[in-house]
Structure 1
Amino acid sequence: MLYPLTVVVLVLAVALLLIAGWYAARNRLLDDRVLGAAALLEVALLVQLVVTVAHLGGVPGGGAEKATFAAYAITLPFVPPAAVFLALKEKTRWAMVVVAVGAFATAVMTARLQQIWSLRG
């Protein structure tokens, strides 16, 4: 995996987390700012998916680490759209909490991907 790509994904995920958290605290609903941040994060996650699939053979460790790496890489691009879809359907403060939790999960899973990749050292 590319370390700069991991940093970009983490920064975008934290930015979406902060925006959604701010919106939840202010009792605001989903708007173009949140959708734009989620879209940028999604593009970065799709790029990360391509990179991780291309380098799947270089994952260190046994089958368990490789399976975890592949599962996280494939699952990650589905998290932000699912959170945004739920936020579109839910018209309360909790919609932004769902987006914030989705962004947090994305950041944690991305960090774990980088951690697994770094084991090859």
Structure 2
Amino acid sequence: MIEAVTWTVVALATVLLVVAGVYAWLDRLIDDRLLALIALIEVGLVIQLVVGLLDLGSIDDSTEQATFAAYLISLPLIPVGTGLLTLKEKTRWAMGSLAVGAFAVAVMTARCLQIWTTHA
């Protein structure tokens, strides 16, 4: 994994979490700035997916290897899924789901880095 990309994704997901929470509080709909933020997070997650899967063999514990691979594969689906839900559903709860998805991305990405630095 690329540590700088990981921390950038965590930071962008945290920003998305806060902004989506504010949008939900203010009952605002998704706009182009949030879609751009989702796209940036997605690019970082795809980079991590490719790099992580190419070097998956360097993790020595098979259980952690499976967890790491599952996180890497599922992480890019979260921003896309919550972003599409937010576009389709025009309520404040959709922005809440985007905030929860951003939180999940931040936590799971940090956990991937933890697995990587501990076992690789």
TM-score (norm 1): 0.94
Regions of 4+ moved over 6 Å: none
Instruction: After TM superposition, give the deviation of residue 120 of structure 1 in Å.
Output: 2.6
Structure 1: which 5+ residue stretches go unaligned? Answer: none
2:6 is aligned with 1:6: yes
**Structure 2: distance between partners of 1:31 and 1:113:** 30
1:59-99 superposed Cα distances (whole Å, 9 cap, x missing partner): 132x2111000000011000000001111121110111010
8 A contact 1:16–1:100 mirrored in 2: yes
Query: Hey, what's the Cα distance between the residues in 2 that align with 1:20 and 1:54?
Result: 33
Q: Give the equivalent residue in structure 2 for 1:118.
A: 117
Normalised TM-score (structure 2): 0.95
Q: Could you tell me how far apart the structure 2 residues matched to 1:60 and 1:3 are?
A: 19
Corresponding residue for residue 78 of structure 1: 77
Alignment pair present for 1:88 and 2:67: no
Whole-angstrom distance in 2 between the partners of 1:33 and 1:101: 18
Alpha-carbon separation, structure 1, partners of 2:55 and 2:19? 32
Deviations 1:25-60 (A, max 9, x none): 111011111111101111111111111111101113
Deviation at 1:18, TM superposition (A): 1.2
Q: Which runs of structure 2 are paired with 1:1-121 in the superposition (5 Å)?
A: 1-61=1-61, 63-120=62-119
Distance 1:29 1:60 in 2: 45
Contact 2:20–2:98 (CA<8 Å) still a contact in 1?
yes
1:23 and 1:29 in contact (8 A); partners too: yes
For these two proteins, the number of residue pairs brought into alignment is 120
Counterpart-to-counterpart distance in 2, 1:60 and 1:6: 21
Question: C-alpha separation between the residues in 1 aligned to 2:56 and 2:119?
Answer: 12
Percent identity over paired residues: 53
Contact 1:13–1:103 (8 Å) recurs in 2: yes
> How much has 1:19 moved relative to structure 2?
1.2
Contact 1:76–1:106 (CA under 8 A) maintained in structure 2:
yes
